[in-house]
Amino acid sequence: MKKSLVYSYIGLVVLTLLVALLASGQLSKMIVTVIVVLSLLKFWLVGFEFMELKKAHSFWKVLLLGFGVLIGFLFVVLL
């Protein structure tokens, strides 16, 4: 439990720096997609690890996963 929180935090910071670095170059459709996917990974890490959604009923998990997939898909399509 303790370690999974620390690993999640390190992962979140690394992903944040990675997306900032990726966005500093030319933004192709591919890069936009990668940034959106990595941002969603961070979104879900916070939900499942920090908010302990991993312990909740599947209904709440599916809602958060579904919301992320929908908004991420629309971001990629629109941008």
Partner 1 sequence: MEVNNKSIYYPPGGILIWIVIYLELLTFGMAMLALAYYGSQDRLNYHTDSQLLNKTIATLNTVLLLTSGFLVAKGVHFFKNKLFQKTSNYFLWAMLSGLGFLLLKLVEYYEKLQAGLDMNYSTFYMFYWLLTGFHWIHVLVGLVILGFVRRSVLQKQKKAALEDIEAGAAFWHLCDLIWLLLFPILYLLF
- Residues at the interface with partner 1 (CB under 8 A): 1-2, 5, 8-9, 12-13, 16-17, 19-20, 22-24, 27, 32, 35-36, 39, 42-43, 46-47, 49-53, 55-57, 59-60, 63, 67, 71, 74-75, 78-79
Q: Work out how close the CB of 23 gets to partner 1 at its nearest, in angstroms, rounded to a whole number.
A: 4
What lies within 8 Å, CB to CB, of 68 at 6+ separation is 40, 43, 44
Burial 2-17 (b: 16+ CB within 10 A, else e): eeeeeebeeebeeeee
Nearest-angstrom CA–CA distance, 34 and 54: 25
Q: Work out how close the CB of 73 gets to partner 1 at its nearest, in angstroms, rounded to a whole number.
A: 11
Q: Work out how close the CB of 9 gets to partner 1 at its nearest, in angstroms, rounded to a whole number.
A: 4
